[in-house]
């Protein structure tokens, strides 16, 4: 496993570590854990202790994670993360103990239902004063969405903040969306776009889109994943192996885009160096300046 190497590299959004398909695996299900080496095409797996695990199976989940990370995870050459329970839950003390026992072998800590700045301070305090964990947090309530900027400011001062996952299902209930949201999820447009925009204020924070729980509907998944990518999300939570290739593809730049980005960066550097120009015409029609240069760098950073 690339665990400590990833953490020490100070990885951050845009520079190295893509998290396109973020696959959640219930930690209480040993059989599912042992299947992970076969899912070679997912960037990131999250061993879940929260909603995917029954109340009565939380301790089994912790024991499985401990065993898995100590015995088997070295066979998996990609990011392995753990999702703990919410800091306000009855399970948090046992989860924190597990994380401390495992500290060198977790690539990134996923923290659900972060509602306030105080949640982040509490967790950092419990994990220790020199808190060097990579952290992805979930925005799953109206309060969390409204206060997201402050929460991320605090999170990035206490942890190595890596991303925000939109927890759409809990958010819908909390925000009072009447009944279940529709398949198109138009009720969630504001929340999704606010998360992307707020993440952009923080260099390292990847916006990770909502889960598509109707996991057998692969056409619907493709549509929603492509929409999320177009809106600026960098990845998407997935719950089933069949969802992985569709989501990985949706969040990967096309060959056309990669060639465009490479040529644009070369042209920018040439114009800047040889002619002292920061704006010029590219491929005969497009005016290039700094924003397009940033876009081109972003595309190349997202390329596998």
Least distance to ligand 1VU, CB of residue 104, Å: 24
Which of positions 43-62 make contact with ligand 1VU (CB under 6 A)? 48, 51-52
Interface residue with ligand 1VU, options 169, 174, 217, 226 (CB under 6 A):
169
- The answer to whether the annotation marks 83 as part of a ligand binding site is yes
Q: How many residues bind ligand 1VU (CB under 6 A)?
A: 16
How many whole angstroms separate alpha carbon 163 and alpha carbon 221? 21
- Which listed range, 56-64, 65-73, 211-219, 279-287, lies at the site for ligand 1VU (CB under 6 A)? 211-219
Could you give the angle at the alpha carbon of 135 between the alpha carbons of 240 and 86, nearest 5°?
A: 75
- The answer to whether the annotation marks 140 as part of a ligand binding site is yes
What six digits make up the tokens of 243? 């969802």
Could you say whether residue 6 binds ligand 1VU (CB under 6 A)? no
Closest-CA residue to 134 (of 77, 75, 79): 79
- Which listed range, 125-133, 210-218, 225-233, 252-260, lies at the site for ligand 1VU (CB under 6 A)? 210-218
105 neighbors 73 (Cβ within 8 angstroms): yes
How far, in Å, are 71, 96, 192 from residue 187 at the CA level? 44, 35, 10
**Residues 11-30: x/- map of binding to ligand 1VU (CB under 6 A)?**
-------------xxx----
- The answer to whether the annotation marks 29 as part of a ligand binding site is no
Classify 280 as helix, strand or coil.
strand
Q: Is 101 a catalytic residue?
A: no
34 neighbors 250 (Cβ within 8 angstroms): no
Residues in Cβ contact with 156 at an 8 Å cutoff, skipping those fewer than 6 apart: 202, 204, 205
Could you say whether residue 35 binds ligand 1VU (CB under 6 A)? yes
**Residues 216-245: x/- map of binding to ligand 1VU (CB under 6 A)?**
-----------------------xxx----
Separation of first and last alpha carbons in the chain:
18
How many whole angstroms separate alpha carbon 257 and alpha carbon 210? 25
Beta-bridge partner residues of 235: 208
How many whole angstroms separate alpha carbon 28 and alpha carbon 61? 4
What six digits make up the tokens of 56? 């009565």
Shortest-Cβ-distance residue relative to ligand 1VU: 52
Least distance to ligand 1VU, CB of residue 243, Å: 9
Least distance to ligand 1VU, CB of residue 9, Å: 27
Annotated binding site: 83, 140, 170
Residues that bind ligand 1VU (CB under 6 A): 24-26, 31-32, 35, 48, 51-52, 169, 211, 213, 215, 239-241
Annotated binding site for Mg(2+): 140, 170
Annotated binding site for substrate: 83, 140
Active-site amino acid positions: 289
């Amino acid at each position: 496993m690339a665990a400590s190497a990833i953490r020490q590299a100070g990885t951050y959004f845009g520079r190295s570590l893509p998290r396109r398909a973020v696959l959640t695996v219930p930690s209480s299900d040993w059989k599912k854990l042992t299947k992970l080496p076969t899912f070679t095409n997912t960037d990131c797996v999250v061993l879940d202790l929260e909603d995917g695990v029954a109340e009565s199976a939380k301790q089994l989940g912790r024991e499985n994670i401990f065993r898995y990370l100590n015995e088997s995870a070295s066979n998996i050459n990609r990011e392995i993360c753990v999702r703990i329970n919410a800091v306000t839950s009855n399970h948090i003390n046992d989860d924190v103990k597990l994380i401390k026992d495992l500290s060198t072998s977790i690539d990134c800590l996923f923290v659900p239902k972060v509602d306030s700045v105080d949640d982040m301070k509490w967790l950092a305090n419990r994990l220790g004063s020199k808190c060097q964990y990579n952290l992805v947090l979930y925005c799953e309530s109206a309060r969390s969405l409204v206060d997201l900027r402050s929460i991320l400011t605090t999170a990035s001062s206490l942890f190595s903040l890596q991303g925000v996952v939109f927890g759409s299902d809990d958010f819908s209930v909390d925000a009072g969306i009447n009944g279940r949201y529709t398949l198109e999820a138009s009720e969630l447009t504001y929340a999704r776009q606010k998360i992307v925009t707020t993440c952009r204020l923080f260099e390292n924070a990847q916006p990770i889109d909502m889960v598509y729980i109707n996991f057998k509907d692969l056409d619907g998944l493709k549509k929603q994943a492509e929409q999320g990518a177009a809106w600026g999300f960098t990845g998407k939570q997935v719950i089933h192996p069949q969802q992985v290739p569709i989501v990985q593809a949706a969040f990967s730049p096309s060959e056309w885009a990669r060639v465009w980005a490479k040529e644009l960066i070369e042209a920018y550097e040439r114009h800047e160096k040889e002619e002292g120009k920061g704006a010029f015409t590219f491929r005969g029609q497009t005016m290039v300046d700094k924003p397009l240069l940033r876009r081109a760098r972003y595309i190349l950073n997202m390329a596998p």
